[in-house]
Structure 1
Amino acid sequence: MRARLPLLLLLGGTAVLYLWRLGDSGWANAYYSAAAQAGAASWRAWFFGATDASGSITVDKTPASVWVMGLSARLFGVNAWSVLVPQALMGVASVGLLYATVKRTAGQAAGLIAGVVFALTPVAVLMFRFNNPDALLVLLLVAGAYCTVRAAESASWRWLVLAGAAVGVGFLTKMLQAFLVLPAFGAAYAFAAPTSWGRKVLHLSGALGAMVVAGGWWVLVVELVPDRPYIGGSQGNSVLELALGYNGLGRLTGDEVGSVGGGRGWGSVGWSRLLGAEMGGQIAWLLPTALVLLVAGAWAGRRRERVGLLLWGGWLLVTAGVFSFMNGIIHAYYTVALAPAIGAIIGTGAVVLWRRRTEPGAAAALSGALAVTALQCYLLLLGWSPALATAVLVLGLLAAVGLFLSAAAPPALVVPVAVVAALLGPGAYSVATAATPHSGAIPSAGPASSRGGGVVVFGGANRGMGGLLSAPTPGAQLVDLLRDNSGRYKWAAAVVGSNNAAGYQLGSGVPVMAVGGFNGTDPAPTLEQFQQLVRSGQIHYFLGGAFMPAETGSDASQRIAEWVEATFQATTVDDVTVYDLTAEAQG
């Protein structure tokens, strides 16, 4: 029990941080909360990841994370806690798996350091308290790393197949991003597995096959079933187009048909992107430190430790490189995928260098890593808390001197100061993140964030970015209106944009069609299809709302909004423009 106490404290502390005041964020990302609500009401909507129970259109990702939230909502009711608690528990499980993985290659102390660094990374605190797909993706990829390490120890094809399956399910969570770890997993197994090269190739091929099966079965079903919801984010109702285009190669090239702004203009590319104002506070606290310890640990480590550094270093460098140079849509919270690798490298590298601290080279590397940490945290804290920034810098530099003189300095004094200096900055920022409610489509770690942008309004009040990135909260009169006789209609209402639809659906509990999908640029439905649904009495109301203009993609949603405005009489309920599609058309 005593040996397990540090791990229990790590997991317990992580659970408190990730669950504390979790409900303050409400629906968090209403887009996925609405899909969970739909899945709780309809198994068909749950399987395809539809945003409403009647199944008009899916979320613009593969639906594995929606499956988890939908099941939780079925069991515990549709509420903020049933949607968000699974993400927090995924975070605790990810920390535990990271500890177990690093422990196998570098020992318990390294595993504990890795877990603490990971748990206190601000973007990890953000995303494990939020309902985007990233929480499940990180859990699955860490599980894949654990299986790869187990496989490499004894050339076990079974463990390697499990690693492939974990990455495959990761594809069902967030598509091609899951594949960024494949070079690292393959290299670690090829380097370390105690078997012939022929068997290594055979085992890796089997793992690749498992990945294809685990990630491809749902894609095959979707492509073969014609009577299903439209695939959100695609222009041709194809999940393969979504995976390879809007959510695939388009993220690299910037050529994303249907994206607002054409998928371009998402910040300057280059290695400095991860250290800049937008992403620095999310992930960059210990990123330079990890790079220093990666090189030094590879030089000073034993074979098993080098295997771990090869795996985590490959994960970090490939993922960081893609995030740094991709030209398409990228958001700061994507960087949560770097957090496990940073934690593992720091845990492994710190233990390796501490073991050899009496050697000048190791002492210099350990001291330099902490000095880099102190300077980086100072720069990130300066705009938020100058006093804390100064304290971190002073403590860090003092501890760096102590580590350089580690042969003479007492470890009982140097080590605690070094740990506090390294973790005080990201720890304080993480607590501020947990204490701040976060909502909308683009969350950001830290005490506060603000975003803005332009809109186009059709038949309703201007809600700013609410038409695209955040969901409206309907008033009581509008809720009563949507619920009244809603059972007679397949959709109680329709509105342009998925976040608009999500807000009205979550507020009323009845299906609301998201015309045009997330960006309002999907041809779902077309004007002709929408007119047929209106003629057959399947949609009760159309709600005016705001949405962003797009340079590419379908203009069907705009045409639908204009047709409704020209055809039906407008009324205003709770400051929302409402069109009764069952009423007689205007002359």
Structure 2
Amino acid sequence: MVTEAKSRWALAALLAGTAALYLWGLGASGWANSFYSAAVQAGSQSWKAFFFGASDAAGAITVDKTPASLWPMVLSVRLFGLSSWAILVPQALMGVGTVAMVYASVRRLFPAWAALLAGAAMALTPVAVLMFRFNNPDALLVLLLTVAAYCVIRAQEHGATRWLVLAGVAIGFAFLAKMLQAFLVLPGFALVYLLAAPVAFWRRVRQLLLAGAAMVVAAGWWLLAVALVPASERPYIGGSQTNSVLELALGYNGIGRLNGADYGGLGNLNQQAGWLRLFDTEAGGQISWLLPAALVLLAAATWLTRRASRADPVRAALWVWGSWLLVTGLIFSLMQGIFHAYYTVALAPAIAALVGIGAAVAWERGAHRLLAVVAAGTAVWSYVLLSRSSGWNPWLGVVVLVAGLGAALVMLFTRRVAAVVAVAVVACLAGPAAYAVDTAASPHTGAIPTAGPATRSSDGGFQRPGGGRRGGNNQAFTQRRPGGPQSRGGMGGLLNAGTPSAELTALLKSGAAGYTWVAATVGSNNAAGYQLATELPVMAVGGFNGTDPAPTLERFQQYVAEGKIHYFVGTGMGGAGRSTGGSDDAARIAAWVRETFTATTVGGTTVFDLTQS
């Protein structure tokens, strides 16, 4: 009882510490990803915008994802009002929930220390700290997939249909957060249950079919609702060229991410695919601190349990997490389409759980020398990662290396010195913990945030916390502007929104009640800046990349003729258009506005009054 009570206190301390880390200074990031913050603001004013995930309350176009990740943030804003805190707190709480689920999954079969190790590894993963303090869809995705893994483990223990169906529901709803990425765990989860559940084979098959049906219902109800609503009565589906959710899921957010043909986006902007991508200078400091340890412990624990029965729950749990890590990790490593390092947050629960489970299996079966080798290797790899941040606490890498190798050396000869084991654990977690604290202490904005301090890349550029890179491959993501009205002084761009001047904000607000949209501008992030400043609908012409045919030139001209749009703000970006299979309507609209209306400059930005030709 005493041990159990202590484990509860330890869990409470873990969750409290995670909450403090994820909530600390949360408002410093402002609107974080303005693209999603604008959609949250829109949903807080319109239930229709809420349901469809529209970028503005008038419902011109949706974000380029399914909308489930927006819903918790919208509800928070409806309760507490529009603010950075109201938007980001639900994300932080999802992070605490994910740590709790990792702990609970490991604790079912292993000692409290192993579950605490797994939970701490999850909480301190730098990219997890980043994304649970940010408003991208990944927070809800990771929480739901972790819930699904827990449910599969529970189902396998006794062949319980209910738990397997709940896993299907969780994965289905995760699809509504980030589409096909949610399904990467499916092959492994299904195969582990089919091979290891302690019930008859055909019962396992029927259970998997039921879980699959539950997943389809959980993912498909929203798709069906969208399909049943006439296109004229809902927002355009952003990220698609045919106003289709299925095209969005299978094209721009599906096959296009694998083969680089992202159907109306910016094309293949990332040529760094390869087996070692997760260890390189872009992704390494985000996720790979414990990745080598997880892989080694997965292999070792599989060997150590080789004589177990088919339905052994320990080996099954090991491979629930192992299949998640291997399948998702290989896809991330080899995908030819757009890849950002923050995607790797989807690997964090699997890595953390495998470290806890693998360490417990090795310790209980007397393989403490293996653990010593793992600790030594982790310390060396941490030193390598820390050395990439030259000038940032250079002493830390040396301390980690000396402490880790020293503790590992002692562990080779004894397993009875708890203090030595504690030193080894601290040495293994010190690097990611330092990056985690640095991440929490730094504001992050824009579409491509990164965790930790700046790191030198292999091409001589610098990976910067807060998004983007100076030099190197992400230069392809710098702001672009199409032919058409240009802004003197400009604002925003492809990957982030700016803050308009007080003079321009006041102009957009004037007479707003008489218009459906107070303004239109090319690109969702440009529109987001004006919308968040005014809290009024601003039409994002062309969607995120400016390459969606929404609206067409003819439809835009009709809106103008009907007096639905007051101003056009000449802050343009995105000129990919037909070069990547996308629409050039945004460029055509911008050119028509320039030729038809008189430009004025307000607060350093070019503005066209669409009511004065």
Same-fold status (TM-score > 0.5)? yes
- Describe the SS at the equivalent of 1:236: coil
Tell me the equivalent position of 1:253.
259
Verify the 8 A CA contact 1:463 1:546 in the aligned structure 2: no
Out of 96, 112, 118, the residue aligned to residue 114 of structure 1 is 118
Out of 191, 197, 203, the residue aligned to residue 199 of structure 1 is 203
1:395 and 2:403 equivalent? yes
C-alpha displacement at 1:194, in angstroms? 1.3
Out of 340, 345, 349, the residue aligned to residue 349 of structure 2 is 340
1:135 and 2:161 equivalent? no
Could you say if the C-alpha distance between residues 72 and 444 of structure 1 is closer, same or farther in structure 2, counting changes exceeding 3 Å? same
1:233 and 2:209 equivalent? no
Tell me the equivalent position of 1:435.
441
How many residue pairs get matched? 576
1:545 and 2:571 equivalent? yes
C-alpha displacement at 1:376, in angstroms? 1.0
C-alpha displacement at 1:579, in angstroms? 0.2
* Post-superposition CA distance 1:181-230 (Å, at most 9, x none): 11221122223321100000000000000000000010011112111000
In the aligned structure 2, how far is the partner of 1:328 from the partner of 1:463? 33
Out of 339, 348, 355, the residue aligned to residue 330 of structure 1 is 339
C-alpha displacement at 1:267, in angstroms? 2.9
Amino acid at match of 1:474: P
In the aligned structure 2, how far is the partner of 1:462 from the partner of 1:483? 21
Out of 536, 543, 546, the residue aligned to residue 517 of structure 1 is 543
C-alpha displacement at 1:366, in angstroms? 1.1
Could you say if the C-alpha distance between residues 465 and 351 of structure 1 is closer, same or farther in structure 2, counting changes exceeding 3 Å? farther
* Post-superposition CA distance 1:47-102 (Å, at most 9, x none): 00000000000000000011111111111111101100000000000100111011
Of the structure 1 ranges 308-317 and 458-467, higher mean CA displacement relative to structure 2 is found in 458-467
In the aligned structure 2, how far is the partner of 1:104 from the partner of 1:356? 18
1:560 and 2:568 equivalent? no
Structure 1 residues 147-546: aligned runs within 5 Å: 147-226=151-230, 227-260=233-266, 262=267, 264-301=268-305, 303-357=312-366, 362-384=367-389, 385-407=393-415, 410-448=416-454, 449=464, 450-451=468-469, 452=475, 453=478, 455-456=480-481, 458-461=484-487, 466-546=492-572
* Post-superposition CA distance 1:328-370 (Å, at most 9, x none): 111100000000000000001111112233xxxx233212211
* Post-superposition CA distance 1:94-144 (Å, at most 9, x none): 100111011113232221111000000000000000000000000000011
In the aligned structure 1, how far is the partner of 2:591 from the partner of 2:340? 32
C-alpha displacement at 1:465, in angstroms? 9.2
- Describe the SS at the equivalent of 2:373: helix
- Describe the SS at the equivalent of 2:572: strand
In the aligned structure 2, how far is the partner of 1:201 from the partner of 1:383? 49
C-alpha displacement at 1:291, in angstroms? 0.5
- Describe the SS at the equivalent of 1:545: coil
In the aligned structure 2, how far is the partner of 1:389 from the partner of 1:248? 39
Verify the 8 A CA contact 1:468 1:499 in the aligned structure 2: yes
Amino acid at match of 1:390: V
Verify the 8 A CA contact 1:454 1:465 in the aligned structure 2: no
C-alpha displacement at 1:460, in angstroms? 2.6
C-alpha displacement at 1:423, in angstroms? 0.5
Could you say if the C-alpha distance between residues 568 and 52 of structure 1 is closer, same or farther in structure 2, counting changes exceeding 3 Å? same
Structure 1 residues 10-159: aligned runs within 5 Å: 10-159=14-163
Task: Give ranges in structure 2 of 5+ residues lacking alignment.
Answer: 455-463, 470-474
In the aligned structure 2, how far is the partner of 1:98 from the partner of 1:233? 33
- Describe the SS at the equivalent of 2:545: coil
In the aligned structure 2, how far is the partner of 1:5 from the partner of 1:190? 37
Task: Give ranges in structure 1 of 5+ residues lacking alignment.
Answer: none
Tell me the equivalent position of 2:459.
none
Verify the 8 A CA contact 2:65 2:179 in the aligned structure 1: yes
C-alpha displacement at 1:463, in angstroms? 6.8
- Describe the SS at the equivalent of 2:521: strand
Verify the 8 A CA contact 2:156 2:313 in the aligned structure 1: no
In the aligned structure 2, how far is the partner of 1:237 from the partner of 1:531? 19
* Post-superposition CA distance 1:242-281 (Å, at most 9, x none): 0011001111111111111x2x131321111110011011
In the aligned structure 1, how far is the partner of 2:145 from the partner of 2:53? 22
Verify the 8 A CA contact 2:520 2:538 in the aligned structure 1: yes
C-alpha displacement at 1:461, in angstroms? 2.6
Could you say if the C-alpha distance between residues 388 and 124 of structure 1 is closer, same or farther in structure 2, counting changes exceeding 3 Å? same
In the aligned structure 2, how far is the partner of 1:249 from the partner of 1:465? 33
- Describe the SS at the equivalent of 1:105: coil
In the aligned structure 2, how far is the partner of 1:531 from the partner of 1:44? 24
- Describe the SS at the equivalent of 1:494: strand
% identical equivalent positions: 60
Out of 589, 595, 598, the residue aligned to residue 569 of structure 1 is 598
Amino acid at match of 2:349: P
In the aligned structure 2, how far is the partner of 1:91 from the partner of 1:391? 29
- Describe the SS at the equivalent of 2:276: helix
- Describe the SS at the equivalent of 1:33: helix
C-alpha displacement at 1:464, in angstroms? 8.3
Verify the 8 A CA contact 1:39 1:50 in the aligned structure 2: yes
C-alpha displacement at 1:436, in angstroms? 0.3
Verify the 8 A CA contact 1:435 1:447 in the aligned structure 2: no
Amino acid at match of 1:310: W
Amino acid at match of 1:403: M
Q: Give me the CA root mean square deviation.
A: 1.3
* Post-superposition CA distance 1:438-485 (Å, at most 9, x none): 000111111351434252253233678931000010111111111111
In the aligned structure 1, how far is the partner of 2:293 from the partner of 2:605? 51
Verify the 8 A CA contact 2:489 2:605 in the aligned structure 1: no
Question: Please, what TM-score do these two structures have when normalized by structure 1?
Answer: 0.96
Amino acid at match of 1:532: Q
* Post-superposition CA distance 1:380-399 (Å, at most 9, x none): 10132321111111111111
Question: Please, what TM-score do these two structures have when normalized by structure 2?
Answer: 0.92
Verify the 8 A CA contact 1:294 1:345 in the aligned structure 2: yes
C-alpha displacement at 1:173, in angstroms? 0.4
In the aligned structure 2, how far is the partner of 1:71 from the partner of 1:528? 36
- Describe the SS at the equivalent of 2:163: helix
Amino acid at match of 1:367: A
